[in-house]
Structure 1
Amino acid sequence: MKVFFTILLLGITFTIFISKSLFNNSFDSKDLTISKQKEMKIDTPDQDRFVKVSLIQGQFTEPTEMAVLPNLDILVAQRRGELMLFKNQTKKLSQVAKLDVYYKTGLSDVNAEEGLLGLTIDPQYASNQYVYLFYSPVGKSVNRLSRFKMINDMLSVSSEKVVLEFYSQREICCHTGGSLAFGPDGLLYISTGDNSTPFNVPKQQYVNRGYAPLDNRPGLQQYDARRSAGNTNDLRGKVLRIRVNEDGTYAIPEGNLFPEGEPNTRPEIFVMGNRNPYRISVDQKTGFLYWGEVGPDANSDDELRGPKGYDEVNQARTAGNFGWPYFIGNNYPYKAYDFTNGTNGSAFDPNGAINNSPNNTGMSTVPAAQPAFIWYSYGESKEFPQVGSGGRTAMAGPVLYNKPGASPYPAYYDGKLIIYEWVRGWIKAVTMKPNGDYVGMEPIMPNLSFSAPIDMELGPDGKIYILEYGKGWFTKNPDAGIARVDYLTGNRPPSISSLNIEKPSGLLPYKLIANVNAKDADGGPLTYIWNLGNGIKKITAIPKLQYTFTKAGEYPISVQVLDKEKASAKSEVIRVFAGNEHPKVDILLAGNKSFYFPGKPVSYQVLIADKNSVVNKERIYVSSSYTEGTDLAGAQLGHQQAAQSLVGKSLMMKSDCSTCHKISTASIGPAFNKISTKYQQDPQAVDYLASKVIKGGGGVWGEVPMPAHAAMKESEVKQIVEWVMSLSAKKTNKASLPTVGKITPPETINREKPVLTIKATYTDLGAKGLKPLTTTNTYNLKNNIITSADIKDFNGFNRDDNGRLNMNENSAFLKLALIDLTDIVSFKILFSSKIANENYNIEIRIDEKNGKLIGKSSSGKINIPVESVNDGKFHNVFIVFKVIKEEVKNDLFLRTITLDSK
């Protein structure tokens, strides 16, 4: 948890006999990949048949955990103390209790995570009506587990039986855990966070920087997780396991980590070594415990401190120690660290780490550490590539099992663990061997979208219920709610891939032309109900609408698509502007329009057209930068003009940015418009903020760090930042570059950032009742060196594991798609050895493989002159290789193709 938590057809249905015979075969843990399943004809179920049924939305304030009752009513705990009841028959929500909880600190800019955190019902709820709540009572620095009784759909507060409580330090942040779950044997599991501060001690030279908090200096107990998670005699940073007696007391079951009476231990501990086990589940057949572990924030490994941050999904078949704060991920060890002088000690020993902290009240040597079941950092994971990259908040859902005669999901998912991500938004199905060993993971219900799923439970109907916290922290979110996941075996609702507006703005009368890309998976006709805002609705039988607005305003455009059975899907909302039109921004270049050349000036001119008013030159912003680009197509060479409000915002919504930031209201991160205002007068703001998004960081807006996004493209991050900057752009600074000028690339090209991007932005003055509109145009030029990795279209070559191209036929060609040849005078082709050039004749042709010949090599020549092609068109260029000698040198590889200009 990084602050608060830093905070599911048809297809082949298999019999149980077939499933068991597959899993009883002997194979290595990595053998049964998805491709292996396909080879064995185990088809993945049709994901279009998963549908999200929204039960209620927009009425929750910080929901934390839920319990589905036997009659399918749903209890929901809210962090601020309210217990809510959703009635399945009436679809109404009511408050059934309000506990007096500590949920807000008395310190400015410090958020509390405590409050009403956990909720579950007794396995015998139908007869005893017992509800268990885990909460932080006001007036006493403890976290408490209590049992209550429901009477006539109200929680009897007076029936409270305090089962267990333990000390928890307050007025600090972070990590509460708080999840509750019963196992198949009636034992109750309670997760608890390490109650430690991951942030830096103010005004100190040696600070934590997102690694394991091991600071044991006097008065800084909250910065030392060895006092809690790493302490065998403390209930924090654990998963506890108890048996609740009928009178509300509890007993210690056999098999916990420490037996009753062992000195310096607590017998309630089932699992220790947890940072923030925020959401747990128990396999109702095997009894295995699963939990998502929200990990620390360090972006990279450190020689002095140890490993970078990882989130984990863990599995405990028996009691054990899972490492924190001594280890993380695959038992990657931290090092002892002296915060008084910045020196380190040895790495902790996974066979038994030493706890010599003065804050430790437990054993001096903790039990051997177990590695994580699944682990991943901010960046892409080699071990588990399916998890993606970005922010991290791991959650564990249920293990699915089919019920005889009442199976809501395909048998394919029988025995699979469902895991999910609060920040990244994905849901995965994890395949395991019968003994629980990890085999692989795959997306499940990837076409469904959930707003920060914070709890996932199986109802008594065997269906998955998902509690959505909503995309915003510490607030009432309009997208918070409860959804159920159904799997349709009959009619399926239509799906919408995109809504396209031909022109998102225009002067009056403004003619809207909208197209929606939708399909009916069952092949039936569709009806389109268009919502144009202000109560205007239009119905069409085709996926296209034309409508003329005669009144100025900003209109939200969306469409609902219905099939013949009235099943429906809704599109995104796109706002259009009638009465003002996005300005036109154009960049004109002299010379080559695909490439730039070292040390040779690029001449450009920026032209602005504004139909609504006279162009204000002070509102023009022109810049240039060098960015990454992996290939000719990936660099998006040439013009990329679009309304900035559509491009940057769209990219932002596809990322995890919206989880932590809102446009105008505070969340865990600052509002976008505040960021825009803060940096509005900084000409380097876009570069600075883009770098911060990619690398991560903290300290500007508070202690909460922003995760690194190393896998995001720099060019896309900059588009997001430019959209952010446009939110408060009333007037830009004087252009960092003139509207007419020259840009001279350096003599030495940076191979890591080969694309020169010239960018021009203009924000108009707006119109009466309408906000200003911004348009950005970028022009991308690649450097003149083309590598093997840049070339995607070829024949007669093969590509090795390192991405290199090796000719393996007597005749072969490479294709450079749609490039400008203006001013190009030669192609210099280099192989890994000069001998390679003596083996081939090389021809350079345009438009077709046998098209016009513009250049030809002599034997052994690597620099091939080409005739002038200055027609201003973009041509496909074919570089054709023909063998001179009989044998082909298979150990010789193409290195680069360099284009030279006059």
Structure 2
Amino acid sequence: MFLPFLKYSLSAGFLLGLTTLSDNWATKSLVSNGQTQVWADTLNRPDENRFTKRVLSNDLNEPMELAVAPDGRVFFVERAGKFYLYNPTDRKTRLLYDFPVKAVDKYLNGLLGMTIDPNFRQNHYLYFFYTVQDKEQTKQRIARFVMNDDNTLDVASEKPIIEFPIDLEVSAHTGGSMAWDTHGNLFISTGDNTVPFESNGHAPIDERAGRLTFDAQRSAGNPNDLRGKILRIHVEPDGTYTIPDGNLFPKGTTGTRPEIYVMGCRNPYRISVDPATSILYWGEIGPDAGTDSQQGPRGYDEFNQAKKAGNYGWPYFVGDSKPYYQYDFATKAVGSLFDVQAPINNSPNNTGIKNLPPAQKGMVWYPYNKSDEFPQLGVGGRCAMGGPVYHYDAALKSTTKLPAYYDKALFVYDWMRNWVYAVRLDEQQNYQSMEAFMPTTGDFRRPVDMEIGPDGSVYMLEYGSVYGIDNDDARLVKVDFNGGNRAPVAQVVATDTIGLAPLTVAFTGDKSRDFDKGDQLRYAWRFEGNTVASTDANPTYTFRKNGVYRATLTVSDQLGKSSTDTLTIKVGNTTPQVAIQTAQNRTFFSPKSMPFAYNVLIKDKEDKLIDKKNVKVVLNYIPKVNPEPQMGHQQLTSTFSLGKTLIAGSDCKACHQLAAKSVGPSFTDVAKRYRDDKTATAKLANKIIIGGGGVWGEHAMSAHPQLSREETTEMVKYILSVGSEPSENRLPQQGNLTLNQHVGKEQLGRYLLTASYTDKGALTPAPGKPRTQLALTKTDLLILRPSKVLGSEADELHDMTRQGKRLGNIHNQSYFVLKNIDLKGIDQLTYFYSSKDKAAVVEVHTDSPTGPVISTLAYTATGDWKNYKEVSTSIQNPGGQHDLYFVFTKPETPNRDLFSLDWLLFGTNATAAQSTKVSPTGK
């Protein structure tokens, strides 16, 4: 699901006078025709560690849009009406005014946008986009205010510039962004103000009587209506406005509005204008259909560009002008496709001309699923936002400005997917390529507005993790670039951090690093209090009293840059010992139902008696682990619910909470509603994939076609389980388990046997008093996996690739690794493989590619990559658990493209006799 007010509500070019850069992140640029030509591939991409993101203002509530003044002051607004100023001088945020706006339905309309006048230094003008109620009519208003010299807003100076009515019952598609071009023209984005339901996520063109608000032809497709548009006006000193030349419809044209620059928009929520070219950019938040249907194409979000005025198609076209069908909502009859070159608006709700300008296609478009044209954008929810174009200024005296590498880059971002991309354009300003900006360290929290400040830094409003909630992580942030000396990265390492007093700890600080070669590092250690106790890189320190301490290391370079790392030391207790013991195999379970005998051994130096209430033994079964490298113990321990894990990795949390209502119902409420519905699991699993609405109000859930039915089923199972009190299925410390949950299912599951013990804590210094601190918990985990292992489940690869569930591109000395394997009870290894025309040898080594050999297979070619053969060979048990290295050897040439592995089977002679079965289909 997406924000209702969103879903509903560097280029190649020339840079003159590029100066030589002071550090080694940039190379010399190419010179062409007497000009310095800066292309993306002639400059080294700056290291991501050169960018620093810091929070300027925290604890916000639905931040909307920001503007940075020439002197560095940052103005920003919240949807509920609050207008703030962040002052970089004192680093404080002040509330300047609380607009009495019409903030509808808890989530929609209100104070939606703001901007500053291009001549702000002289006139101090600010502009706001907000919802007002006037004589029972709700309108969107853009008004101008004066900012006083004492950092107060002159409320009495309000001068409405332009207004237009909206249908208040439609809490959807608001637009609300503003931007300026080089000629002082003001651009204003407006949404189509249309209910998207009963159109199944396709074109809302419902022309039935009484369905006015379900027809976007009355707004976005109507040349005589200001909704679903991007307007362009010129504000005069007296507060009136004039119409610049070059808008879509000449002034005086019957059935049109001259303010319109771009029509055919669904929700152009964030716009920008290139300050050098005056080209308009915006993110178009598209419809929700996850698949094509008889009504037309699936939904796409778009990043759009308008070099001149135009019609961008909605509600007749989407994406790269994919047409919808003319559809009769009364009879369900499907007509012909709308004509891209000559669209006609015949809706009875259209008050403007019927013959519309040709539709322009999007610059970038992408669906919920992976995009064929732009695969780097990923999959999942969509909320496209148009960001600024950056122009590098070599003369700008700023130590934080973005580097020349991003000169003429258009920054775009997605609210749902939490990424920012830099789009590169060619000399004609046409799309060329894009690349992620700060993909590993950005940690973007629903970016909702982004601007380049006068200092060349990035300023961003982050809405926060959950829609419609007072998010703890809603904030104003700034991203600075450091082109010079970087701070070192402090890192504290210690092996013994828990123990009894006196506790002597050997600390290691020389693993700290500095990104700038040749820097001299200095170390300052603090163990108890603020006094520097050591300046050695690797000191030893003794803690003589019980307590919890924070060992702190500050690492500085010779220029004064520093960073700090801390490590907690607990004195007064020792960690319990917990071990799951079994005489059976500790890695694999049988395909058949089988008993599993175990015993949990627990010891604790301080607890004479083990408190049974503090012992927890639990068995969980994960029905499916995706065929990727095996997850580590800690990951599986914390995410043993597959459904919960899938939800955590999806966009669900943007609109749903466990127990609190957001834009969508809480999971608890969903579980309660469907408690007695036996068809709920299948029904809701399908709904997550295809999307839909109408059950919980007017906000629809977006489609998730990128998820499989198995995945959504597990998600629904988890959601429905939260409606009842959890029944903790604790097991005894010793017993026999029946492992049968995998029987009859695809062999991709895992059994997790978890045992933990929490001790009674540390003794206080006063005798006779209860233990009050330092209770420690220790957990052991046993993961049992199927004895049949897909090729793609290998933990490590060397000189080979994953190809779906298989391994391929295997050559001489290629190898893959399966970690932590127990071969108890196993004496045979079966390969299901193909090899077109080369025979070779597979050796299984323990613990390294050159370790002891415990199995050898001399295989023959199968004649074709499609012909898979099943061949078995013996394997020895070295005892204990080991990493197994499967090494392919064929010294003589040709020795490339040797093998394709579908699966391995660990078994015995009794369960897997040697065979030479051939499958022409590879199955």
Which residue number in structure 2 is paired with residue 781 of structure 1?
Answer: 785
Tell me the CA shift for residue 285 of structure 1.
0.8
Deviations 1:258-294 (A, max 9, x none): 2223332222111112121111110011111011222
Q: CA deviation at 1:235?
A: 1.1
What residue is the counterpart of 1:108 in the other structure? none
- Aligned with 2:167 (options 166, 169, 174): 169
367, 382, 406: which one aligns with 1:392: 382
Letter of the 1:461 partner, please give it: D
Offset at 1:801? 11
| Structure 1 residues 681 and 782: CA distance shift in structure 2, 3 A | farther
| Residue of structure 2 equivalent to 1:874 | 882
Matched, 1:322 2:312: yes
Q: 1:506 to 1:241 in 2, by over 3 A?
A: farther
Asked if the contact 2:219/2:226 (under 8 Å) is kept, the reply is: yes
- In structure 2, what residue type is equivalent to 1:167? P
Normalising by structure 1, we get a TM-score of: 0.78
Root mean square deviation, CA, Å: 5.5
List aligned pairs for 1:225-304, cutoff 5 A: 225-298=216-289, 300-304=290-294
**Residue deviations 1:326-349 (CA, integer Å, cap 9, x gap):** 232223333344444555444433
Per-residue deviation, 1:414? 1.4
Change (3 A) 1:272 1:888: same
Q: Which residue of 1 aligns with 2:739?
A: 743
Of residues 383, 396, 405 in structure 2, which corresponds to 1:412? Answer: 405
Which of the numbers 410, 417, 441 marks the counterpart of 1:424?
417
Cα gap change, 1:566 to 1:487, in 2 (>3 Å) = same
Which runs of 5 or more structure 2 residues have no equivalent in the other structure? 11-21, 762-771, 862-868, 911-923
Report Cα offsets for 1:228-256 as digits up to 9, x if no partner. Answer: 22222221111111112222222222211
Q: Which amino acid aligns with 1:627?
A: K
> What is the CA distance between 1:619 and its match in structure 2?
7.2
> Are 1:183 and 2:181 counterparts?
yes
Report which stretch shifted further, 213-222 or 824-833. 824-833
1:132 is aligned to: 127
Check whether the contact 1:390–1:707 (CA below 8 A) recurs between aligned residues.
no
Superposed CA deviations along residues 516-535 of structure 1, whole A, max 9, x for unmatched, are 98543344436678899xx9
Note closer, same or farther for the CA distance 1:78–1:356 as it changes in structure 2 (3 Å cut).
same
Please report how far the alpha carbon of residue 352 of structure 1 lies from its aligned counterpart in structure 2 after TM superposition: 3.4
Q: Compute the displacement of 1:697 (Å).
A: 7.4
SS in 1 for 2:283: strand
Q: What amino acid does structure 1 have at the position aligned with 2:417?
A: R
8 Å Cα contact 1:2-1:175 kept in structure 2:
no
* Whole-Å separation in 1 of the counterparts to 2:257 and 2:277: 25
Aligned counterpart, 2:13: none
Q: Which amino acid in structure 2 is aligned with residue 96 of structure 1?
A: L
Partner of 1:102: 102
Q: Which residue of 2 aligns with 1:307?
A: 297
Structure 1 pair 547/729, CA: closer, same or farther in 2 (3 Å)? Answer: farther
Aligned-pair distance for 1:616?
5.1
Q: 1:395 Cα shift?
A: 1.9
Determine helix, strand or coil for the equivalent of 1:406.
coil
- Contact 1:589 1:602 (8 Å CA) reproduced: no
Q: Letter of the 1:196 partner, please give it.
A: T
How much has 1:432 moved relative to structure 2?
1.0
Give matches, 1:325-336, under 5 Å: 325-336=315-326
Secondary structure in 2 aligned to 1:824?
A: coil
Cα shift readout 1:598-642 (whole Å, capped 9, x = no counterpart): 3363636474969797445997653323213334xx023778675
Q: Does the Cα contact within 8 Å between 2:409 and 2:424 map onto a contact in 1?
A: yes
Q: What is the deviation of 1:400?
A: 1.1
In structure 2, relative to structure 1, the CA distance for the partners of 1:65 and 1:761 (3 Å cut) is farther
Distance 1:864 1:537 in 2: 66
Alignment partners' CA distance in 2, 1:575 and 1:346: 69
SS in 1 for 2:422: strand
Q: CA deviation at 1:313?
A: 1.6
How far apart are the structure 1 equivalents of 2:508 and 2:102? 51
Contact (CA 8 Å) 1:85, 1:94: kept in 2 or not?
Answer: yes
Give the structure-2-normalised TM-score.
0.77
Matched residues in 2 for 1:603 and 1:208: separation? 54
Q: Tell me if structure 1 keeps the 8 A contact 2:616–2:731.
A: no
Q: Distance between the aligned counterparts of 1:142 and 1:692, measured in 2?
A: 35
Q: Provide the rounded CA distance (Å) in 2 between the counterparts of 1:677 and 1:538.
A: 57
The one-letter amino acid paired with 1:455 is D
Contact 2:388–2:452 (CA under 8 A) maintained in structure 1: yes
* Residue number in structure 2 paired with 1:150: 147
1:772–1:301 CA distance, 2 compared to 1 (3 A): farther
Query: SS in structure 2 opposite 1:412?
Result: helix
Task: In structure 2, give the amino acid aligned to 1:75.
Answer: F
CA distance in 1, matches of 2:569, 2:727: 24
Distance 1:485 1:677, change over 3 A: same
1:379 is displaced (CA, Å) by: 3.9
For 1:521 and 1:295, locate their aligned partners in 2 and report how far apart those are by CA, in whole Å.
42
Aligned to 2:114: 119
| Distance in 2 (alpha carbons) for counterparts of 1:341 and 1:515 | 76
Q: What SS is found at the alignment partner of 2:521?
A: coil
Alignment partner, residue 525 of structure 1: 521
3-state secondary structure, aligned to 2:31: helix
Q: 2:110 corresponds to which letter in structure 1?
A: G
* 8 Å CA contact retained: 1:619, 1:731: no
After TM superposition, the structure 1 stretch with the greater mean CA deviation from structure 2, 887-896 or 382-391, is 887-896
Q: Encode CA deviations 1:183-237: one digit per residue, 9 max, x unaligned.
A: 0011110001111223x4xxxxxx3443333333333332322222222222111
Residues 784-795 of structure 1: pairs in structure 2 closer than 5 A: 784-787=788-791, 790=794, 793=797
Per the alignment, in what secondary structure is the counterpart of residue 131 of structure 1?
strand
Matched letter for residue 636 of structure 1: M
Number of the residue aligned with 1:732:
727
* CA distance in 2 between partners of 1:890 and 1:576 (Å): 53
For residues 617 and 677 of structure 1, the distance between their equivalents in structure 2, rounded to whole angstroms, comes to 32
| Residue equivalent to 1:78 | 78
1:369 aligns with 2:396: no
Counterpart secondary structure, 1:138: strand
The answer (yes or no) to whether the contact 1:190–1:240 under 8 Å persists in 2 is yes
Q: Structure 1 residues 524, 351: closer, same or farther in 2, change over 3 A?
A: farther
CA 1:46–1:641 in structure 2 vs 1: closer, same or farther (change >3 Å)?
Answer: closer
Distance 1:580 1:427 in 2: 47
Give CA-to-partner distance per residue, 1:67-123, whole Å, 9 cap, x none.
222332222222222322333333333333332210133xxxxx3421111211222
Relative to structure 1, the CA distance from residue 263 to residue 86 in structure 2 (aligned partners, 3 Å threshold; closer, same or farther) is: same
Q: How far 1:144 sits from its partner (Å)?
A: 0.9
SS of residue in 1 equivalent to 2:122: helix
Q: How does 1:813-852 map to 2 (within 5 A)?
A: 819-832=821-834, 840=839, 842=841, 844-847=843-846, 851-852=852-853
Mapped pair 1:635 → 2:630: yes
User: After the TM superposition, which of the residue ranges 232-241 and 824-833 deviates more from structure 2?
Assistant: 824-833
Contact in 2 for aligned 1:855/1:864 (Cα 8 Å):
no
Unaligned runs of 5+ in 1: 26-31, 106-110, 201-206
Amino acid at match of 2:31: I
Instruction: Tell me, in whole angstroms, the C-alpha distance in 2 between the residues paired with 1:862 and 1:581.
Output: 51
Rounded Cα–Cα distance in structure 1 between residues aligned with 2:55 and 2:683: 41
Aligned match of 2:190 = 192
Count, aligned residues: 859
What amino acid sits opposite 2:556 in the alignment? D
Question: What is the CA–CA distance in structure 2 between the aligned matches of 1:70 and 1:857, rounded to whole Å?
Answer: 73
Give the Cα–Cα distance (whole angstroms) in 1 for the partners of residues 104 and 287 of structure 2. 23
Q: Is the 8 A contact 2:178 2:271 kept in 1?
A: yes
Task: Specify the SS of the correspondent of 1:145.
Answer: strand
* Aligned 8 A contact 1:583 1:608 in 2: no
Matched residue SS, 1:175: coil
Closer, same or farther in 2 for the Cα pair 1:363/1:660, shift >3 Å?
Answer: same
Q: Please say if 1:433 is aligned against 2:426.
A: yes
| Corresponding residue of 1:29 | none
Q: Aligned match of 1:466 in 460, 466, 478?
A: 460
Check conservation: 1:696, 1:705, Cα contact below 8 A.
yes
Q: 1:622–1:739: 8 Å Cα contact kept in structure 2?
A: no
Distance 1:327 1:877, change over 3 A: same
For 2:75, give the aligned amino acid: L
CA–CA separation in structure 2 for the residues paired with 1:652 and 1:501: 36
For 2:75, what is the secondary structure of its paired residue?
A: strand
